[in-house]
Amino acid sequence: MTAPQLVLASSSPRRRDLLARIGASPARIASPDIDETPLKGELPRAYALRLAQAKAAAIGRSADEIILAGDTTVALGRRILPPAETEDVQRKLLGLLSGRRHQCISAICVIDRAGQARTRIVETVVAFKRLSDAEIDGYIASGEGLGKAGGYAIQGRAEALIRFVSGSHSGVIGLPLFETRALLLSAGYPLG
């Protein structure tokens, strides 16, 4: 039996880069079109898992393909924080996260050749230092956190403003590599 082909259900260049770190190279990249609006009363863990599963299910799959999808949700307690679509939203998000711990919840879903879905959820605690207005303004001016969950990118300038991380650094970026590797191997995808 030939090795399965990997389909990445994400247009995120960060997820492609992370996969390369574990020797995985998608044969195909497909961007799922799903509604990412949280359901009324939905908690962050359930939300992240639902989105990862929905993204994987939204992509058509041939018999020799396995699908990998992920979602990274930033939460402050039970509150799901949105992506920073504008600088005003980003300023509010960074103000909320300033000096506080928050959770980055990374959910991954792999659908194997038989159509069986495997999932994992990884929670990472992240704490920003207390941010001054000048630091927030400077970070926003860099442009790197725009469009990102929680309004920041830990793999960039924001890392210098983070005083504490407990969990998966790659999960905060967008794909927890330890768990992703295990899921891909269990689905029959060959990795070294």
Which of these is catalytic: 71, 88, 112, 137? Answer: 71
Residue 144 tokens read as 């790197």
In this structure, how many other beta carbons lie within 10 angstroms of the beta carbon of residue 117? Answer: 16
Query: Tokens 């962050």 correspond to what residue?
Result: 44
Please, which residues bridge with residue 84 across strands? none
CA-nearest of 57, 189, 187 to 114 is 187
- Catalytic site includes residue 71: yes
Three-state DSSP at 111 gives strand
| DSSP notation for 131-174 | PPHHHHHHHHHH-TTTTSBTT--TTTGGGGGEEEEES-HHHHHT
Three-state DSSP at 51 gives helix
Residues marked active site are found at 71
